Chains A and B, each alone.
Chain A
Amino acid sequence: MSLSLPSHIPREAFVRFLLAQADDELVLGHRDSEWTGHAPILEEDIAFSNIAQDEIGHSLVWLTLHEQLTGRTPDEMGFERIASEFRCCRFVEYPKGDFAYTVVRQYLFDVAEQVRLESFLESSFAPFKDTAEKLLREEMYHLLHSSSLVERLGDATDESHRRMQAAVDAAFPQSLGMFEQLEGEEGLTEGGVFPGNRTLRSRWLKRVVPFLRKVSLALPVKGENEHCTILCPIDDGGRKGMHTAHLDDLINDMQQVYRLAPGPNW
């Protein structure tokens, strides 16, 4: 099945945009799956195993659209590319770290995903509306889960606060990389596909800044909500294929079986 793109949507930028989303979900889903059998409590083991499956499923949704435009199959995209061909942000490729880091990363990612999918409900590209409506129903549980953990752990005990604060200190500069500008994204904004990464970042800051402050977690920002000034360096480059060595490790793990027997029937 092939998909024809309306003429007001620039094709190359659109494909780039799809791939950035698909790769974020695929790579974070893989990181989440690393908690299977290792999470601090059984419920979290189950939660992160489910979230991993959801995120990888969502990656497949975007990669299927990508296939309809480019002819490259989801398996090819997941298993045959090298790190520099991935377009995920660096944020999702860092090792799972302390459980507090996983919780904070998932929360910051879940809000960003929520904000992006909500913007798709008004997209000029019809398939985005349907898909967003579908994925939002699944994603709302991710956000409920991660936000309730942040709320509970943020200022519960000295230790939980210390570990959560360390997680925020590490994750926040990385998380800003989720909103790295894509080459040609102005064309997508003009075409009504999505409002652009700057706008999404403002909407995201409006939610995450007051929420984290409420549970005594300090952020490297000055000012309120979406009007705040960022005081830390931004860890980006992933959208241009500039990744950390951690992505190589992840890809080696993920592609190991496939490389042993290319083109298997799963």
Chain B
Amino acid sequence: MTGREQPIKEIKTPLRDEQDARVWNALAEVHDPEIPVLSLVDLKIIRSVKVDGENVHVVMTPTFSGCPALNVMKQEVENRLIALGFTHVQVEFTYSEPWKTDLLEESTREKLRAFGIAPPVQLVLPQSPEGRKANLQYALEQPVPCPFCGSENTKLDSFFGATLCKQLFFCDSCHQSFDRFKPV
């Protein structure tokens, strides 16, 4: 770690806290272009914010590594931070402690449901290949209530969906197709 990247929090002052909050609030207004009801903060993809005078350094982590919305989101974050008056804005991605759907809070899951997307199931993935396979199988066998009518009489149509983060389901009660956020 270089000097510049030392966490500012260790030398906390009221002013810095306020600065941090200002940045976090601004980032809570940047939305995922593919799931506009969720902000980058809801999605837990903002890893850290470091403010130092007129400089700001934001670390993000990708949801799905091939997601084409990542660059759009990064650009939007940069625009917001410049609008806040920072002269030096640095936004980068990290893969350490990879993002997973278990990070999503209940309030975020509720927003997904209201938007017509079934939230992801809990997915604990052990390191061993056998353990991973077994847990994935178990997770995929859990009932998925239809976000429109609540029925559990639903089935997986495809492991994949309209975007990398979704899977295609069909509800046998209300006869509608719906998306489920892909558990990873």
Interface size on A, residues (CB 8 A): 31
Cβ-closest chain B residue relative to A44? B158
* Stretch of B47-55, B65-73, B79-87, B108-116 contacting A (4+ beta carbons < 8 Å): B65-73
Given contacts A54-B64, A56-B66, A58-B65, contact A134 B95 (CB under 8 A): yes
Least distance between B142 CB and chain A CB atoms (Å): 15
Contacting residues of chain A (140-155) with chain B, CB-CB under 8 angstroms: 140-141, 144-145
Cβ-closest chain A residue relative to B61? A134
Question: Is A145 a contact partner of B65 (Cβ separation < 8 A)?
Answer: no
* Stretch of B13-21, B22-30, B97-105, B145-153 contacting A (4+ beta carbons < 8 Å): B97-105
Say whether B127 faces chain A, with CB atoms less than 8 Å apart. Answer: yes
Cβ-closest chain A residue relative to B129? A118
Cβ-closest chain A residue relative to B64? A138
From DSSP, what is the main secondary structure of chain A's interface residues?
helix
Question: Is B97 a contact partner of A121 (Cβ separation < 8 A)?
Answer: no
Select one of A43, A51, A57 contacting B168, CB under 8 A. Answer: A43
Interface size on B, residues (CB 8 A): 29
Question: Is A47 a contact partner of B158 (Cβ separation < 8 A)?
Answer: yes
Given contacts A47-B158, A61-B95, A133-B98, contact A53 B164 (CB under 8 A): yes
Select one of B95, B97, B129 contacting A114, CB under 8 A. Answer: B129
Cβ-closest chain A residue relative to B95? A130
Least distance between A202 CB and chain B CB atoms (Å): 15
Select one of A1, A51, A121, A130 contacting B92, CB under 8 A. Answer: A1
Select one of B95, B100, B158 contacting A43, CB under 8 A. Answer: B158
C-alpha gap A134/B94 in the complex (Å)? 11
C-alpha gap A136/B100 in the complex (Å)? 11
Select one of A50, A57, A121 contacting B161, CB under 8 A. Answer: A50
